[in-house]
Structures are given as C-alpha cells and as structure tokens.
Amino acid sequence: MAPAISRVDRISALPDQILVHILSFLESKMVAATSILSSRWRDLWHSVPTVDLDDALFPDEEELFVRFAYAVILSRDVMQPILNFRLKSEYSLSAQCDVELWLNTAIQRKVERIELSPSIYSKIKLPFGILTCATLVVLKLANLTVDSISTVHLPALQTLYMDGVKFAKREYVDMILSGCPNIEDLQIESLKLYLKFRPLAVTFGNLIHMQFSVYDCIWWLLLRLLNSCPLLQILELRKDRLSRYYPKTVPGCLSSHLRACTIDNFYGADMDIQFAIYILQNACVLKKMIICCSSSSTKRDRFEILKKISKVTRISTTCEFLFE
C-alpha cells in the first residue's frame, strides 16, 4: 500500500523573513499574485525589497502596466526598504512624473541597485535624485536623456553601466564620472560624446574593469582616461574608428596591472594595429589579448592583420594572444 502523501504546506510555515527573501527573486507581477494563495501570503508582497517592473507581462496594456506600477510602489510597507529597483519597458511612458515618482520612492527607501531600460522612443529623462543617492551601489541606465545636471554625488557606487544614454552637454559625462570616485566596474556603450570630455579631475582608484563602445576614439583622450584608472585589470574596447595621435607615455595601469584586453569590431586600419601593438609592447603583466575582427573583414584582411601583429615582441612573456 502506497504511503499517504502529506498535504502540509511547509513553505507557508516558513518565517516571514525567509518568504520575503524568496519572493525578492521574482518579477513584481508574480510577487503580487502570491497574495491570493491564502491569508498567510496576503500582505507579504508589500515587504519584498525588490521592485521589478517589466511590461513584457502586460502586452498591449500600457495603462494597466502603469496602474500596476503605482500599486506596487504606493501600497508597500513604508517601513520596509526598496533595495533593488528595475524598470524595463517598451511603452512610451510619456508621463515623466510616473517614473520620477517611482524612482524617488525607491531612493527614499535607501535603494542600492537601480536598472532603467525604457523604450528608445520613450524620451525619459534621468531623474535628478538618482545622481545624489548616497546608498546606490549599482546603476545601469539605457536609452535615457540627460539634459541637465547640477550635482553628482554617488559615494557608494561601484558599478556604472550606460548604454545609449544621450547627453545634452559633453561636460555632463565628466560630471557623472567625477562624482563616482569608488567605481570598480564601468561599462559605456554607444556614446559618441564619451571621449570628448575634459580631462578627469578624479582618480578611479578602485576601477578594475572598464568596457566601452565609442564612435571616434582619439588617442590622447583615451590615454587620459587610462591614467585615471591606476589599478585597471580588464579593458574591453569596441570602436568604429581609432584616430590621431600615437601616445609616447605609458599609463600606470598598463605597466603594472592590466591583465586582459579585448578589442572588438577591429577593422585593421593602421591606427587600430598601432593600438594593439601599443598594448602588447607596454602591458607588462598582460595574460590575454583578444582581437575580434569586424564582420566586414575578408579572410585576406584578417591574414594581413594577423601577420603584422604576430611580428610584435610582447613585453609579457605569459601573454596569450587570441585572434578571431
């Protein structure tokens, strides 16, 4: 005779703290849905420290998505923090006050991680409060517009990603980077203005990983950026064009810390090859150099590039060279 199956609800018997932690891994719509399970679950979702708003779960229902976002934000337990806030939307979200209200609520609750990825058609502007949030550790921004900045003070920020962020003035990029002195991981994508800012007045003493994608990368400006990152270990560069000056000095990070360098979308122009050679000849502790050719490169182009770079004597005897 088969043993009887226990119908005891062991999950609901767990302490609130554990249940809330489990729910923090779910998207907010799923979290809210747990309130109908039983009276035990009815109010738990108000205390979850994660707000994850993704309109993919509201297809063709922008108004319903906005109403739900308000409900999640405004019905929370005011005594509970919002440690993680994520907004991903393909809707226009034309009402700018909606997003600002949601974010300001998270900032007031000592948020540590913010991820904003609105539609490229939304024209959402970066709320001012984000740039002075003292508790923020991770900030990931995509498809936003920055049209005004007065102060940037992000003392706890360790990770900063910006993808397709539009700046009304080139000095705004400088202001943001200068206001994040404790950055460890910096990734910037699709930003034409990025390497046109003034020399940085701050040293990124904790930055070990930098990844950026630029349209026109000018040598001496790239050199100034590297000089601001004395402990940089990983450099990932994707660019359409590397132009002008060949540097005669070597940043400290190259001579003592850089361990991995990746160059993507490599066309094989003379300046591209000079940059690769510059890294190989000056990165003393380099462990891996990866060059990924442009998709438009022919087999003959790739062979000529490989032939030129392979002739170079690497200063690091332990460097592995990968050509793709």
Q: Which amino acid is at 109?
A: R
Task: Retrieve residue 193's tokens.
Answer: 């203005």
Q: Are 106 and 84 in contact (CB under 8 A)?
A: no
Q: What's the chain's average pLDDT?
A: 78
Q: What residues have CB less than 8 Å from 96, skipping those under 6 apart?
A: 124, 125
Q: Picking from 24-38, 148-162, 227-241, 295-309, which range would have the lowest pLDDT averaged per residue?
A: 24-38
Per the listing, tokens 């949030």 go with 133
State mean pLDDT over 235-260: 76
Q: Picking from 9-18, 32-41, 139-148, 197-206, which range would have the lowest pLDDT averaged per residue?
A: 32-41
State mean pLDDT over 83-103: 79
State mean pLDDT over 249-269: 85
Nearest to 191 by CA among 176, 174, 173, 175: 173
pTM of the model: 0.73
288-307 pLDDT, tens per residue?
998 888 877 788 888 888 88
Q: Are 85 and 103 in contact (CB under 8 A)?
A: yes
Predicted pLDDT of residue 91: 77
State mean pLDDT over 283-289: 91
pLDDT of residue 260 exceeding 60, the answer is yes
Q: If pLDDT is split at 50, 70 and 90, which confidence band does 197 have?
A: very low
Predicted pLDDT of residue 285: 93
The dihedral of CA 253, 243, 163, 224: what is its sign? positive
CA-based end-to-end distance of the chain: 63
pLDDT of residue 6 exceeding 60, the answer is no
User: With b meaning 16 or more CB within 10 Å and e meaning fewer, what string describes 162-190?
Assistant: bbebbbeeeebbbbbbbbbbebbbbbbbb
E strand spans, 166-319: 166-167, 185-189, 209-218, 234-243, 260-266, 288-293
Nearest to 176 by CA among 163, 189, 167: 167
Q: Are 170 and 149 in contact (CB under 8 A)?
A: no
Per the listing, tokens 């132009």 go with 243
pLDDT of residue 38 exceeding 80, the answer is no
Q: How far is CA 238 from CA 51, 64, 264, in A?
A: 33, 39, 5
119-145 pLDDT, tens per residue?
876 777 788 889 999 999 999 998 888
209-233 pLDDT, tens per residue?
988 776 555 566 677 778 888 899 9
Predicted pLDDT of residue 5: 54
- Angle, to 10 degrees, between the axis of helix 299-310 and the axis of helix 270-282? 40
Q: Are 250 and 283 in contact (CB under 8 A)?
A: no
